[in-house]
Amino acid sequence: ARMGRTLVELFYDVISPYSWLAFEALCRYRHIWNIDLRFRPAFLGGIMQQTGNKPPAMLPKRGEYMLKDMKRMSKYYQVPLHISADAFQHIMGTNSLTAMRFITAIDMTNPQYLEPLSREFWMRFWSQHEDISQPENILAVARKAGLSEELSQKALEMVSSPTVKDRLKETTAEALKYGAFGMPAVVAHYDGEPHLFFGSDRLELLGSVIGE
């Protein structure tokens, strides 16, 4: 982190709608707060498995509440998150592993595209309700994010490489080490220690802890 700036890490997975809300809100705060924002693509499936966490919608009442909550949140944050009645089937039926490996490959080779690429994945999945797991759809997302055909193709080839697989595993393990049990996991490094905040609705608390 630059002198006197607080490093804030956002551990996220594009399958997580609340991660999108936290991502957009932090992108805005970045211009007002004295923070260095670092995006950390990780795998939500791995975090759920390692911590024994269950998808919130497994509890029907909680699922009902979440649908309303996400509608309110998207309106409040002005993020085009469109929730359909079958949103949870949509999540359960999608594996984000390839997408997150692709994002990781771009983070390792062309990090300047990390922000627009992640945003386009959320747009495609949560705004347009389109698939993000198949190679041709991943390439379509990359194209929209401004990546060249050549770059995207190279990143797609890297998806199955040990370096990319290991990097995603390491980032996920790092989130777990900080105490993450779901996404988004926001970690602020302040006063010599990491402070974990879970979810997209703890940002005022984060600001308070880091003196903003």
Catalytic residues: 16
**How many other C-beta atoms lie within 10 A of the C-beta of residue 145?**
19
Query: Which of 154, 151, 120 lies closest to 137 in space, CA to CA?
Result: 120
> Treating both helix axes as pointing N-terminal to C-terminal, what angle do 135-144 and 149-158 enclose, rounded to 10 degrees?
140
How far apart, in whole angstroms, are the C-alpha atoms of residue 114 and residue 73? Answer: 24
Q: What is the DSSP string of 13-75?
A: -TT-HHHHHHHHHHHHHTTTSSEEEEEEE--HHHHHHHHT---GGGSHHHHHHHHHHHHHHHH
Query: Residue 181: helix, strand or coil by DSSP?
Result: coil
